[in-house]
Amino acid sequence: MTIITKAACVGGGVIGGAWAARFALAGIDVNIFDPHPEAERIIGEVMANAERAYGMLTMAPLPPRGKFIFCKSIEEAVHDVDWIQESVPERLPLKRGVITEIDAAARSDALIGSSTSGLLPSDLQAEMKHPERMFVAHPYNPVYLLPLVELVGGKKTSPETIKRAEKAVAEIGMKGVVIAKEIEAFVGDRLLEALWREALWLIQDDICDTETLDDVMRYSFGMRWAQMGLFETYRIAGGEAGMRHFLAQFGPCLKWPWTKFTDVVDLDDALVEKIGAQSDAQAAGRSIRELERIRDENLVGIMQALKAGNGGEGWGAGKLLADFEKRLWAQGGNQPKSFDVSGPLRLVETKVNAAWVDYNGHMTEHRYLQLFGDTSDALLRLIGVDFAYVEAGHSYYTVETHIRHLGEAKLGQALYTTLQILASDEKRIHFFTRIHDTASGEVIATAEQMMLHVDAEAGKSVAAPAEVLEKLKPIAEGHARLGVPDGAGRHVGQKR
CATH number for the domain spanning 20: value is 3.40.50.720
Q: Give yes or no: residues 54 and 195 share one domain.
A: no
Instruction: Establish if 300 belongs to a structural domain.
Output: no
- DSSP letter, residue 410: B
Determine phi and psi for 128, rounding to 5 degrees. Answer: -85, 150
Supply the pLDDT for residue 334. 56
* Counted domains in the chain: 3
Determine if residue 13 is labeled as part of a ligand binding site: yes
Q: Which residues of the chain have pLDDT under 50?
A: none
Pick from 83, 72, 103: nearest CA to 9: 83
Burial of 53 (0-12, 13-18, 19+ CB in 10 A): buried
Distance CA 446, CA 434 (A): 4
Q: Give yes or no: residues 362 and 471 share one domain.
A: yes
Supply the pLDDT for residue 335. 59
User: Three-class SS of residue 112?
Assistant: strand
Contact 13, 42 (CB under 8 A): yes
Q: Give yes or no: residues 181 and 197 share one domain.
A: no
Distance CA 151, CA 12 (A): 20
Instruction: Establish if 23 belongs to a structural domain.
Output: yes
Determine if residue 348 is labeled as part of a ligand binding site: no
Supply the pLDDT for residue 336. 59
Supply the pLDDT for residue 252. 82
Determine if residue 14 is labeled as part of a ligand binding site: yes
Supply the pLDDT for residue 337. 58
Determine if residue 251 is labeled as part of a ligand binding site: no
Q: Give yes or no: residues 254 and 340 share one domain.
A: no
Taking the model in full, what pTM does it have?
0.82
Instruction: Establish if 316 belongs to a structural domain.
Output: no
Supply the pLDDT for residue 275. 94
Q: Which helix (H) or strand (E) holds 137?
A: strand 134-139
Instruction: Establish if 492 belongs to a structural domain.
Output: no
Instruction: Establish if 306 belongs to a structural domain.
Output: no
Instruction: Establish if 325 belongs to a structural domain.
Output: no
Instruction: Establish if 154 belongs to a structural domain.
Output: yes
Determine if residue 15 is labeled as part of a ligand binding site: yes
Q: Give yes or no: residues 243 and 276 share one domain.
A: yes
Q: Domain span at residue 16?
A: 6-186
| 478 C-beta neighbours (distance < 10 Å), count | 18
Q: Give yes or no: residues 441 and 340 share one domain.
A: yes
Q: Give yes or no: residues 144 and 242 share one domain.
A: no
Determine if residue 16 is labeled as part of a ligand binding site: yes
